[in-house]
Structures are given as C-alpha cells and as structure tokens.
Amino acid sequence: MSRQERIEQKLSEALAPVVLTVENESKNHNVPKGAETHFKVLIVSPVFEGLGTIDRHRKVHTALADELRSGLHALTLRALTPAQFDAEGAPGFESPPCLGGSKHDKK
C-alpha cells in the first residue's frame, strides 16, 4: 500500500470525512523519484465542528502520527467543516513553492 493510500485510509477511519482529497506533491520537490514525502490534503469533516484551525490540524496530525514519524516530511492541510466547504469551497488552496535544495546537496 502506498503512503498516499495509507493517508487516505487513516484519515477516513479517524475523521469520517465527507470530502477527502490527498495529492502527492513530492514530484514538485527535490526528493528522489518515486518519493512520497510531500502531500496536500483537503479534508471536510463534521468532526471539525466547533474546533479552531489548530485543533483541527492536531486531529489530522494525530491520525497521521505514524506517517509523520516514518518519512512524511511536509503536509499542506486545509481542514473544513461541511458548512464551511458548502459556503466557501476550497479556492486558492495551493502549497507553498519549493525553495529547492536538500541537505544532501550541500557542499
């Protein structure tokens, strides 16, 4: 099972999302071909009702704790309630650009 599939499974089980989009953005970064280290996640769940952004992100990070400990390096995250998603959608949800380089490339 790929890391992307594991992320989808873990978030689905932990947070019962009504919308879940997981995109592997590793290709946009200076990592080996086939790496699964950088992801963008849009998750819409009723579990987020009444929670602020930090608490929503904590829930996602808790669900993905094993992945974060084992090579998941970057997570661009948008966590919304169903009402927020219905009202706003997720316009402009973009990851920051890669600044390039790797600690392995330092001379």
pLDDT tens digits for range 27-79: 776 666 767 877 899 999 999 999 999 999 999 999 999 999 998 888 889 99
- On whether the CB atoms of residues 65 and 34 are closer than 8 A, the answer is no
Considering only residues 42 and 96, tell me which one the structure prediction assigns the higher pLDDT: 42
| Contacts for 30 with CB less than 8 Å, ≥ 6 apart | 98, 100, 101, 102, 105
Q: How confident is the model at residue 84 (pLDDT cuts 50, 70, 90)?
A: very high
Q: Given this model, what pLDDT does residue 89 score?
A: 76
The structure's pTM equals: 0.81
In this prediction, what percent of the chain has a pLDDT beyond 90?
56
Average pLDDT, the chain: 85
